[in-house]
Structure 1
Amino acid sequence: SYNDRQQLTTTVYPDGLRSTREYDERGRLTAETSRTGETTRYRYDNPDSELPTGIVDATGSSRTIRRNRYGQMVAFTDCSGYETRYEYNRFGQMTAVHREEGLSVYRTYNTRGLLVSQKEGQGRETRYDYNEAGDLTTITGPDGSRTETQYDGRGKAIATTRGGLTRRMAYDAAGRVTQLTNENGSHSGFTWDVLDRLTEQTGFDGRTQRYGYDLAGQMVRSEDGDLVTLWHYDESGRLTHRTVNGEPAERWQYDERGWLTEVSHLSEGLRVAVQYGYDNKGRLTGERQTVSDPQTGEVLWAHETQQEYSAQGLANRLKPDGLPPVEWLTCGSGYLAGMKLGDRPLVEYTRDRLHREVQRRFGSDSLPESYELTTTYTPGGQLQQQHLTLPQLDREYGYDEGGRLVRISGPQQTREYRYSEAGRLTGVHTTAANLDITLPYATDPAGNRLPDPEFYPESSSMVWADNRITEDMQYRYRYDRYGRLTEKTDRIPEGVIRMHDERTHRYDYDNQHRLVRYVRTQYGETQAEGRYIYDPTGRRVGKRVWKREPVHWSETRTELSARPYETWYGWEGDRLATIRTQQRRVQTVYAPGSFTPLLRVETENTELAKTRHRSLAEKLEQEGSGDGEAVQFPAALRAMLDRLEDELRRDAVSEASRAWLTQCGLTAEQMKNQLEPRPEPERKVHLYHCDHRGLPLALISPANTVAWRAEYDEWGNLLGEENPEHLEQLIRLPGQQYDDESGLYYNRHRYYSPGLGRYITQDPIGLEGGWNLYTYPLNPVTEIDPQGLAPSTFGTIFGPAMAGTFSGVDSVAHLPESERQSTLNDFSKMRGMYNPLSDYVFGWAVGAPVGSLVAIFGPAASAGKVLAGSVVSCLSNVTYQAIENEKINYKDVIWAGLTGGLAPGRTIIENGLIAMGTTYLNKGDTPGAVTGSGIGAVASGLLGKVPFLSNIFGDYATGLVSEGIGDNVEKANSEGSKK
């Protein structure tokens, strides 16, 4: 609805939730209340200005803005009183930003208004050159490295070169990309129909995929070799089920409000389902994974996580399955200050004036010395030193002129890193007592690993044209038509007599290209076998492993175990939270918004058995009614009683619960007397001490002793381990889990081979993760890939003076829409330039249409109605960014494709994204954002985390233009988790 001035006042969403806006007598926005109930208020000091000078968010934190006479922001003071200052030239272009802790960035422009230089306060400068048409042609880094881009007569990028490596693109007369040529000279092709929909895609290895659409533009058929997938929708256009070669696959269920409530399928003959719960504001409150026998209905494994929100809407309390609640303590508007496990404070944080972590403390105050990690940063904002009360774990970091990490030093060893001009890791030099060794890493132009040139001089001229490595110094490899590794066999060097003792590793997959069976044979006998179970979103929830064991303790003869060793896995979104074996349960608590493990909690199964007790709901059901007969409560009543029990045990009964009890003629005290004692099992709690990437280096006990310690190479291979307490620590690089039977690392969406430093199957999101569908980041020193999809850098540690430091996000995210656009336009002029070679960006710069299906959805994905509009939207987005903003952000293009294709309504978003698997739902809002209705706020398995927007062209998109839609989305998710 609208007021008399035709200003929007109320929006009611299909699920019944609403958002509101309030205005003063001058028509200026004074308050915004989101659909989840959080209110942001605006203050205006100048009665004649429509630009706010004060913002108070839902947490009660206030921010102030100072402006020049033209209304441009010249100072922004955050909720902690810390100030950011902005400078402009006479044309209104932002020329400098000054942050706390002495961090500054400067920009200069040419007479045409184009950015030509960006310089940090420490003197590192990046320069930009253009052709006569204003196209960016050259980027020169602080170290002299150059990235060059060539354009055709229509201004389309046709070639980009960096470090001597060139990628090329070709287009048809309609401007649609028809061919990509990678650094090896291999080609990938694309075919389109008259409506600009992708109908056929051929990869660099010749793998061909085809797509078909119905009259409504929904993708209803996809072909991948002999795999034919049919997609089915309901009358609202929501995806309901999918079949592969006529066999049922995933099935999606929704409630009357359109919110996704369950996804299910069969995996290894078992029914695996994921259920989602919401509060009355549409926020995700719980996720439950179950594995059951479809014949008997027996539940073999169940795992549930719940989360609660503060009065300000912050998801600050997590309830892991089988653990006391994890409570995140925050300061200001959500900066992490500490965490508690149940009533036990475990971790405390201290932050500087940029809100960066400068100290972390773990342990008990009663101990004379507890774990304390002190972190310092360089004047440019990069990680400089980590000092601990355990000095053997200290680390110092060194950088070159280009800002690349070139040295990590510790008390026991120093590692120095070398890079190619293209930014790839080419060598590691390690020095320590009695050790001085250099390990080279060579790749072909497309990034495929090559044998050590010291032993194989001819490898310097080798290329893997199809990106499939068929042999290295240890093994020979075979692949199937889908590019999946199917066999790995010991390589027998020439001249060596074959003894028939070589090992053979075989890999089998399901129709979603997920590894479901691994077998290792030697001497003609099976040595180990593993079978793997997945939920409908692609997360591994179980495995069964058979190992060769002695027949009897007195014999040397062995045979495969009759019964498998079972392991079950429980998830918190995309993060593996629980591992349950036949002996124990190991649970991991992660740092908010990241894949870096924070706490490890181990509980023996014998201890878990001691904790069994009746819940309040179970007790009331079993004791029954007045005549003593047992009763069965409805699910809704059981949920209310479970919530009440939790509040009673915390002595924090809410007003809503008290009102409900009053209506029932009961009191909280009466109900508390009904609670049965809940014994606490004995648990081992350890703090993870990780490197700058999130790779665990040590486990620290509350008494500040090292319970476990390990050393790894840059690709995550374990080099050495000290384990005095015999702990099983299986986490490797962020998002990875070590499998002992195969030696592979499970990496959420696929499996990583640490020996090869790459994946064994192709990227499920296709070109969006990079042109080479197998590679792990080629600079693993400063990049990670926690979901097995696409590389990401550690923004809080690396990157130009830290991610977000000069972005203006803090100041812009809280502005009303009426001003946000103009302010963001100023920011966009100083955000930096388009780097055409980046694996992130380059897949989008080739010409928009690829992004709509190829790069976004990857193999066998469902585009639904997305493609119809996304082609044009992607194209216009790339053109606008490259020519107007001098920058292309691949995530913006993704969102342009989504917004273009999703104009008809929210349900199309579900169609396009659920097909790749939904993980996080209704994660929460950012200030001023309108979170979409239906299946929630964030879907995983496509691009990581992607909000569902009910008004995709409205409030949210408007507020995210300059900073980059994708960047804001990630920041919003990260900050929301921290809050």
Structure 2
Amino acid sequence: DVISEFTRDHLHREVQRSQGRLDTRRMYDRTGRLTRKLTCKGMRGVVPETFIDREYAYSGQDELLKKRHSRQGVTDYFYDTTGRITACRNEAYLDSWQYDAAANLLDRRQGETAQAGAGSVVPFNRITSYRGLHYRYDEYGRVVEKRGRNGTQHYRWDAEHRLTEVAVTRGDTVRRYGYVYDAPGRRVEKHERDAEGKPYNRTTFLWDGMRLAQECRLGRSSSLYIYSDQGSHEPLARVDRAAPGEADEVLYYHTDVNGAPEEMTDGRGNIVWEAGYQVWGNLTHEKETRPVQQNLRFQGQYLDRETGLHYNLYRFYDPDIGKFISGDPISIRGGINLYQYAPNPISWIDPLGLAVDPIAKLEDRGYTGVTRTSGGGLDYSDSNALYNKRPGVNPVVTIEYSGDYLKDFERANTAAKLNQKSTPRGYVWHHLDDYDPVTNKGTMQLIKQGAHQGISHSGGVSQYKAATGKSYTFPARKGGRLCD
């Protein structure tokens, strides 16, 4: 049976999908940013009925500033100059945050500006106290105790730094939960333990690579997960079976701009689950019209309701502090703060729990010699990713910015003496972050696509937007290669 059908534009962007009796349209601005997701009943009819409507507005730095949701109202987001989120405001939720220089949340109590003044820091990036919660770490930097008003949790880890047991104490009651992993480190079972330590109430998990494919509860009911695209961790649908031999039911996910589920509907277009989020992943509200227990959260995360932690493949994420509770398994290759989830969770994701530094990621792909610029961008001029196929071609040129990707590519091709309008196959032009607003010029570098695609970095286009207030447009015809 067909789960969903997709329609794409000439740039291969999704513009419409079917979800049972619902259809969702996606709309983009001239720079390719998602501006609206409109879900309707009877989209193919003459007068479709609006079911869910989401609209998004951005800053010149591509930060999400405002979200209008037809069921949740208007949400405003505020950022500092480094792109970290500092405040969020909507009808159900108002909060603000302060950070130290390493992007750790500071414990701000009412009437105070920060826990220890403007120069405060979090030693070793390990938060020990935050908004009534208290954390204790072992010698390996793993959280072993979390205390708060709702009780105490004790964590036990194995030699591979995997969480294997949690003891949750509330009053005089202690409940223990265990976790089992396979050889690649994926969690394949969670269960509760009785007074003798024997497991019961099991949930088992099956994986497709590094994506959760299926979960089975108590050996009977099961849920099969389907995702929006190959390689994506954004959920599209869930296929439920109440018991072996019974008929399947398809439930559809409706997600926010960062891929977090906000609604789940059945094949008839009825909402069976919906929720709203605080910025760091806790819920402002959750409602079910029937028991479906929807546990997916940020992309790649699965909520363990017994602890409130989100299982994030290689680590566990705590939405109470917006951080992981153990250090990054790839150490400083993931960045200087081993516990950080992301600069902000609205526009960043980390589905594997392994936030990789872009230069480390490039080295893993075999590209060496890439360096950081003073502004935080990437310079490929001394790397093996730079074009060197034809003598006489200069892969590093200066052009006048046009505000249009295709025109910039053509100007760079001319300046490089390629003697062709189109960019060589397998290569892209990278806008170095040295844009000069006085001359309206900047450097372009011709590099391999594999050294550019999927690598997060700032570039000259962002500087152009900040200086002029104008956003770059996508190529007007098919075949244009896009870069920053």
TM-score (norm 1): 0.37
Q: Is the counterpart of residue 513 in structure 1 residue 161 in structure 2?
A: yes
Alignment of 1:509-658 (within 5 A): 509-526=157-174, 528-546=175-193, 564-582=200-218, 583-591=220-228, 592-605=230-243, 608=244, 610=245
CA contact (8 A) 1:503 1:520 kept: yes
Q: Structure 2: how far apart are the matches of 1:562 and 1:381?
A: 53
- 2:85 equivalent in structure 1: 425
> Shift of the alpha carbon at 1:969?
7.7
Q: Is the counterpart of residue 380 in structure 1 residue 380 in structure 2?
A: no
1:596 counterpart letter in structure 2: E
CA contact (8 A) 2:85 2:97 kept: yes
Give ranges in structure 2 of 5+ residues lacking alignment.
42-49, 387-424, 427-444, 457-484
1:587 counterpart letter in structure 2: L
- 1:347 equivalent in structure 2: 4
CA contact (8 A) 2:107 2:114 kept: no
CA 1:887–1:569: 2 relative to 1, 3 Å: same
> Shift of the alpha carbon at 1:346?
2.6
Q: Is the counterpart of residue 482 in structure 1 residue 140 in structure 2?
A: yes
Q: Structure 2: how far apart are the matches of 1:688 and 1:544?
A: 26
CA contact (8 A) 1:569 1:579 kept: yes
**What are the Cα deviations for residues 835-881 of structure 1, in whole angstroms up to 9, with x where unaligned?**
xxxx645x79xxxxxx98xxx7xxxxxxxxx9xxx9xx84xx136x9
- 1:400 equivalent in structure 2: 59
Q: Structure 2: how far apart are the matches of 1:732 and 1:543?
A: 18
Q: In terms of Rg, which structure is larger? A: 1
Give the SS at the match of 2:370. Answer: helix
Give the SS at the match of 2:237. Answer: strand
CA 1:758–1:473: 2 relative to 1, 3 Å: same
CA contact (8 A) 2:310 2:319 kept: yes
Q: Structure 2: how far apart are the matches of 1:378 and 1:961?
A: 26
Higher normalized helix content (fraction of residues): 1
- 1:962 equivalent in structure 2: 447
Aligned counterpart in structure 1 of residue 19 of structure 2, from 329, 352, 362: 362
- 2:482 equivalent in structure 1: none
2:122 counterpart letter in structure 1: W
Give ranges in structure 1 of 5+ residues lacking alignment.
1-343, 364-369, 492-501, 548-558, 611-680, 792-838, 845-850, 857-865, 897-927, 930-959, 972-979
CA 1:448–1:458: 2 relative to 1, 3 Å: closer
Q: Is the counterpart of residue 451 in structure 1 residue 110 in structure 2?
A: no
CA 1:517–1:966: 2 relative to 1, 3 Å: farther
**What are the Cα deviations for residues 537-577 of structure 1, in whole angstroms up to 9, with x where unaligned?**
11001112137xxxxxxxxxxx8997521111100000011
Give the SS at the match of 1:389. Answer: strand
CA contact (8 A) 2:67 2:75 kept: yes
Alignment of 1:121-270 (within 5 A): none
Give the SS at the match of 2:5. Answer: strand
Q: Structure 1: how far apart are the matches of 2:2 and 2:114?
A: 59
- 2:271 equivalent in structure 1: 706
Give the SS at the match of 1:469. Answer: coil
Alignment of 1:916-935 (within 5 A): none
**What are the Cα deviations for residues 896-951 of structure 1, in whole angstroms up to 9, with x where unaligned?**
9xxxxxxxxxxxxxxxxxxxxxxxxxxxxxxx99xxxxxxxxxxxxxxxxxxxxxx
Give the SS at the match of 1:767. Answer: helix
Q: Is the counterpart of residue 790 in structure 1 residue 350 in structure 2?
A: no
CA contact (8 A) 1:734 1:785 kept: yes
CA contact (8 A) 1:529 1:741 kept: no
Q: Is the counterpart of residue 772 in structure 1 residue 337 in structure 2?
A: yes
CA 1:882–1:775: 2 relative to 1, 3 Å: closer
TM-score (norm 2): 0.72
CA 1:572–1:758: 2 relative to 1, 3 Å: same
> Shift of the alpha carbon at 1:510?
0.8
Q: Structure 2: how far apart are the matches of 1:576 and 1:430?
A: 32
- 1:467 equivalent in structure 2: 125
1:403 counterpart letter in structure 2: D
- Percent identity, aligned pairs only, is 32
Q: Is the counterpart of residue 745 in structure 1 residue 292 in structure 2?
A: no
Q: Structure 1: how far apart are the matches of 2:373 and 2:77?
A: 33
CA 1:966–1:748: 2 relative to 1, 3 Å: farther
CA 1:359–1:737: 2 relative to 1, 3 Å: same
Give the SS at the match of 1:580. Answer: strand
**What are the Cα deviations for residues 669-695 of structure 1, in whole angstroms up to 9, with x where unaligned?**
xxxxxxxxxxxx311111111111111
- 1:888 equivalent in structure 2: 379
CA 1:476–1:969: 2 relative to 1, 3 Å: closer
Aligned counterpart in structure 1 of residue 370 of structure 2, from 863, 878, 900: 878
CA contact (8 A) 1:392 1:410 kept: no
CA 1:968–1:523: 2 relative to 1, 3 Å: closer
- 1:22 equivalent in structure 2: none
Give the SS at the match of 2:332. Answer: helix
**Which moved further from structure 2: 591-600 or 457-466?**
457-466
Q: Structure 2: how far apart are the matches of 1:478 and 1:753?
A: 14
Q: Structure 2: how far apart are the matches of 1:746 and 1:375?
A: 30
> Shift of the alpha carbon at 1:757?
0.6
> Shift of the alpha carbon at 1:589?
1.0
2:204 counterpart letter in structure 1: W
CA contact (8 A) 1:693 1:733 kept: yes
**What are the Cα deviations for residues 433-452 of structure 1, in whole angstroms up to 9, with x where unaligned?**
xx6x5310211111111123
CA 1:471–1:887: 2 relative to 1, 3 Å: closer
Q: Is the counterpart of residue 721 in structure 1 residue 286 in structure 2?
A: yes
2:221 counterpart letter in structure 1: R
Q: Structure 2: how far apart are the matches of 1:587 and 1:438?
A: 36
CA 1:443–1:887: 2 relative to 1, 3 Å: closer
> Shift of the alpha carbon at 1:380?
2.1
**What are the Cα deviations for residues 260-296 of structure 1, in whole angstroms up to 9, with x where unaligned?**
xxxxxxxxxxxxxxxxxxxxxxxxxxxxxxxxxxxxx
Q: Structure 1: how far apart are the matches of 2:454 and 2:348?
A: 20
Give the SS at the match of 1:772. Answer: coil
Give the SS at the match of 1:962. Answer: strand
Q: Structure 1: how far apart are the matches of 2:180 and 2:3?
A: 35
Give the SS at the match of 1:541. Answer: strand
CA contact (8 A) 1:440 1:452 kept: no
CA 1:584–1:561: 2 relative to 1, 3 Å: farther
CA 1:513–1:389: 2 relative to 1, 3 Å: same
Q: Structure 1: how far apart are the matches of 2:4 and 2:182?
A: 33
**Which moved further from structure 2: 388-397 or 731-740?**
388-397
Q: Structure 2: how far apart are the matches of 1:755 and 1:683?
A: 36
Alignment of 1:101-120 (within 5 A): none
Q: Structure 1: how far apart are the matches of 2:188 and 2:451?
A: 29
The higher relative CO (CA closer than 8 Å, separation ≥ 6) is in 1
Q: Structure 2: how far apart are the matches of 1:786 and 1:572?
A: 14
Q: Structure 1: how far apart are the matches of 2:189 and 2:447?
A: 43
Alignment of 1:75-114 (within 5 A): none
1:736 counterpart letter in structure 2: Q
CA contact (8 A) 2:109 2:131 kept: no
Give the SS at the match of 1:466. Answer: helix
